Structure 1
Amino acid sequence: MTKVLFVDDEPIALEGIRMLADWEGLGFEVCGMCTDGEEALSLMKHCRPSLVITDIRMSVIDGLELIRQAQLLSETYRPIFIIMSGYGDFKYAQSALRYGVRHYLLKPVMDEEWETTLGEVMEELSSRQQMLEQQEMTISQLLPIMIAPLLRGELEELDESVSKQIGELDQEAKGWRCILIEGLSEEELASCSSYVIPPKVMVVDLMPGQVCLVVDCAEDVRERAGKVYDGFRQQGVAICVSIGPPVRFLRELHISYSGAVEASVQHFFYDNEGLVDYETADRLEFSYNFGMMATLEELLGAAERLQEQEAASILKQVFALFQNKKIAPEMVRMLCVHVVLKSMDVLRELEVASVDMWPLFRNLLHNRPKSLTVLEQSVWIYLNEYMRRLRERRESSSGHPLYGIERYIQENYKSPLTIKEIGKRFYMNPVYLGHAFVKKYGVGIIEYIHDLRIEEAKKQLTESAATIRSIAEGVGYVHYHHFLREFEKRVLEKPVEYREFARNDYAYNTTRSGK
């Protein structure tokens, strides 16, 4: 069975990970549940788990250090890591990306997101297992599979017969270049490759959505890549094609592959049509210092307030910053996911249906290549649907929602009221409700409630003989001292002083009017 290791410094979180899936039913053996990185690293040395699910912040050795040290255990041992961490650790994602971690989930983990991630991990583990089970294949069948780890620079020792054939291929070839194709599904590759990819080209299937063609430099590699690109496009398949630098030997293929991967980022930032060649492409230096969480909160706030023009303007600013600062594509996608998750939290809190919005969310994470322009369009489509659902709820009650809220407070201020309860009743997030109320009325909701209560108390102090304590309770105060504090803050007198002065003044005015 495939071994899996759980690492989190909170025992309850470890149990939560265990319950996320039917591990045994999926073919996993839980080889350990560790509460710190040092314990996990020691266990990894002995049981070699294929999958490690870890938190970031832990004592002794944190999650990021665990990943770094795990990479030093062996040149051939490369476990898959899934990081599960909270919003507060979002900034640490940049380090995880540098260590090659592709799976970063924010707590609390959404079921659909977890299922997608686990499916990708299972697919990768299955691919690795399949490679191990095909050791008895003929050399001609085995060669493309052996090329894959060569491309990634993960394999140094080759079977003697495979090494011999590679040497023979090197002698016959002028050199080698990688043509990286991104955006292919398994079905598209199977249906199109037979008449789009020439038979003599070595096809290496890498991670999902990514295929590499290994081409002899004796050919016009750029022309060959162009024909492949045009062939897939004629079949209605949108792909990105990137060409790596030439290398002399197959054992150096990882250099060409790395160059192709580096060049492929041009598609993301510049919407390049057709091909990108490493030898002519610009060299980009990525930034992982996103520093724009406050701007994203402004975007979410504008969407929450249904201010479409403002939201559209802020979104354009955000993506302009992505473009100008060359924020790493992985970070851009994670920031977009942050916007989606926060907005879904609002929908769940307001009990607005959001399950069927999942396809829009998955569109942001689709394996197909996505430029900044297309990604911005996808986020805007999602935000439009988000605002539409909020608008439908708010329009279900007559008039502007704040007018309805004001009337509701005026009719119920003597009852215990909270911003959360009011927000839930009127389908508004409490935080944004508070900001909107202050902006419209110049005072916070709680202060507005106190103002209404104290005004009513002043009236009763003047016109009734009820005790001050009973008046306080009648206008909504459970604690008498709380009433005294709020009364004196607004009237600058104690209730008994106010009553005495108000009654004398009332009697004087009554006498004068009777003359």
Structure 2
Amino acid sequence: MDTTLCKILVVDDEMLVRQGIIHLLDWEGEGFQIAGEATNGREALELIELQRPHIVLTDIVMPVMDGEELIRLVKGMYPEIEVIVLSSFSEFEYVRSTFQSGVADYILKPKLEAASLLAVLKKTAQRIPLLQFDWRGDKAQSADYILDKLVSGFPVEYEAEALQAIFPFPGYVLLLADIGDDAAGGGRKEEWLESSFRSLLQNGDRVTCRRLSPLEGHIRLLFNLDADRREALLTLADQVFTAGIRANMFQNVAVSRTFTELNELHTVYTVDLMKLLDRRFFLPDRCLLVDSGEEERPGPVFDQEAFAAELNRQEFDLAFGRLSSYVSSMSGRRHTGMFEFKSFLCHSMFQIIGMLLHFHYEARALDDSKYEYFRIIHEARHIGETEARLEQFLQDATECVTKNRSGTPAMQKILLYIDEHYSGQLTLTEVAKQFHFNPSYLSNYFALHNKEGFNEYLNRVRIEKSCLLLKENPGLSISDISSLVGYSDHSYFTRVFRKLMGISPSQYRKG
């Protein structure tokens, strides 16, 4: 007798709950099939129209459209579909109200276990006249069940012979198509993708194709092939996805290395292919990404010490050029992660702003807009967008430098000298001698071209350095730190520190 699997749609806004249900049972072995998953009622209605499930298993409290409204609409539009409610104890009053809309049953989330869920589902399925299935539940594990467990990283015991007829060849390649947020159109795209490959594969190609369950906007196809058929498969993939991407069906496609054990499936998917998709940020013009299985040689490393030294010497043209050249060189390189790169870039911009402010350049506007720069960089979809934003930032920073330098080039040299020699017994007379000034003239010159007088500026530099030492060197005593930043009198250091910071050095260290 022909059997019809009972199709189930799982609706819950918590991914862990959905995945817990999906991986709780050997669904096909029990006579069921997961037709899809949705995060709210609106998504569920779109999938119901496409998949026409027999049973909807839904949460009550969800964003966008909650379970109560979903149930009312489903029973009004599709009265033949049965609905089972998932709820917690605190939602029981909501659950009771849903029975007026024709809910078949409910199950409490704290009691969500395989046996109880299966009992409720089988009881509900027996109410559906069109279903014909032997509900004894003594079926062997299906291949889809085993593969779904393997790719998701859930432990599963199975006989290798059970899959031998499906996978007769020694090698495997996992292919991942990114469809973005188009969950409702995923089923149509899956079918198109699988049928396209099957139509191109010939019996003599020694390559088979099997669709895995979709997850998080990804379509996954598993290919079983002879070792020498990888290049032929890549040629087919290029043909299929060129057509699919032109039709706006996919955003990117990633093809894994060849592996020989199905137990590697989870690692290949979650580590290799997801890392490969992460690298597309640096490859904006590449839609088909292929993992060769070989370690890629890292490109040149950014010289952070040289960059910091150039900023400290106010050699801004060199520092800005160094950063710009490095970012430009990143296009096409895949050894760096996207988030690592974006964090590096924001940190470098933060360094630049900090040094401009330290040397009294008019950079307040740049400082005020830094978080907008950071936001745009973190939202950038590819390397080109970050390059454009960095160049705008460097132009703004260059204008800050140009405005200040046009009037006081000597002042910048004096500030740099103080910054490099603050730890010694530095005096106005010594600095005046270094720059061939009369001490009285230097005092007036300093006050004219700087917001602070000589002593005020020197104290601020020393206290800023002492703050770093207090936080980063807990083993140093406060007396030692006062000496390291140029104060011979510990009590005087404490008074100056309290005046500028509002608290004592010991309180600052504890905070």
Instruction: Report the TM-score when normalising by structure 2.
Output: 0.41
